[in-house]
Chains A and B, each alone.
Chain A
Amino acid sequence: MLLGPALAISAVLFTLGVAGVLLRRNVIVIFICVELMLNAVNLTFVALSQHLGVGGQVFVFFVMAVAAAEAAVGLAIILAVYRHQRSVDLQNMRLLKG
């Protein structure tokens, strides 16, 4: 009964996350948008687990573990880059640009 609305809301949240990644230049905000996308997928997992068994809920655990690891390492990388560049704007990170 709730499956359709849950999947629709999840699609909208995922699209908002993608739009945020495309729209912003601040690395931390892009990171926050990635978290938004992960949460949209979590909602899909939970909604489908109601119909396809508890495995979906177990997968959300792993998504949370990966998100926690990603946040810790990603924010450490951002701090290291900030110490180097004094900026978190993607415009100033163009060392690889030809």
Chain B
Amino acid sequence: MSTLTVFWIFGVIAMLGGLLCITRRSPIGSALWLVVTLFALAAMFVLLDAQFLAALQVLVYAGAIMVLFLFVIMLLNLGRPGPSDIRGTMGIGVAIVLAGVLLFQLRVLGTAAPPEAIALPPGTMAALQQREGIIGSVAGPLFDAYLIPFEIASVLLLAAIVGAVVLAKKRL
């Protein structure tokens, strides 16, 4: 099987997971179908020469963030199927029309390509990973050119921790 075939297989899995995610009645079902999408995306990251990000996708997204979601859903006892929260016929029509317009606008992406002048020659990423290692090729720029955004991200995470603790207090 060629790489392209494998890529499309995982792409179809991701799109089906997304479709089922937005149509399931119970929030638990939505969250679990999103996990399927996240795993398919991790497989696609591997095919796109981003193995370290694929591991992070599974660990951080599927492992940590989705567990947080499931934890809150179970804490609020929303698991049992209640009345559907999908909007009425009017809402469904509006959603389909707006989403269709967006998809129509995004359809050019299927044939898009970066301009020749700035595109790297094919195989550059693979060569970089051969030279610096899979993690090293990402860690180098992260702690060099992107050091200040990295520090700002740490401040953001600290603010999120403090905010979550404050919001979770019994009385605000």
Q: A residues touching B (Cβ–Cβ < 8 Å)?
A: 1-20, 22-26, 28-29, 31-33, 35-36, 39, 42-43, 46-55, 57-58, 60-62, 64-73, 75-80, 82, 88-89
- Bound CA span A36–B86, Å: 18
**Hey, which chain A residues are within 8 Å of B61, CB to CB?**
35, 39, 64, 67
Q: How far is the CB of B87 from chain A (nearest CB, A)?
A: 6
Chain A residues near B48: list those with CB within 8 A. 2, 6, 46-47, 49-50
Please give the distance in Å from B105's CB to the nearest CB on chain A. 9
In contact, B22 and A5 (Cβ under 8 angstroms): no
A60: nearest chain-B partner, CB-CB? B53
Q: How far is the CA of A16 from the CA of B20 in the complex (A)?
A: 10
Instruction: Enumerate chain B residues within 8 angstroms of A33, measured Cβ to Cβ.
Output: 21-22
Complex Cα gap A57–B167 (Å) = 32
Query: With an 8 A cutoff between CB atoms, is B1 at the interface?
Result: no
Closest 10 CB pairs of A and B: A20-B22, A69-B160, A11-B106, A76-B167, A22-B95, A19-B99, A8-B110, A7-B109, A9-B11, A16-B18
List of A residues within 8 angstroms of B118 by Cβ: 52
A65/B119 in contact, CB under 8 A? no
Known: A22-B91, A28-B27, A68-B65. A88 touches B34 (CB 8 A): no
Complex: A15 Cα to B112 Cα, angstroms: 18
Assuming the contacts A22-B94, A48-B114, A51-B119, asked whether A32 and B34 have C-beta atoms less than 8 A apart, the reply is yes
- The B68-88 residues at the A interface (CB cut-off 8 A) are 68-69, 72-73, 75-76, 78, 85-87
Provide 25 A-B residue pairs closer than 8 Å at the C-beta atoms, listed in order of the A residue: A4-B113, A5-B4, A15-B102, A19-B95, A22-B91, A28-B30, A29-B27, A39-B37, A39-B38, A46-B53, A47-B48, A52-B120, A55-B145, A57-B138, A61-B56, A62-B149, A67-B61, A68-B60, A68-B157, A69-B156, A71-B65, A72-B68, A73-B167, A78-B76, A80-B167
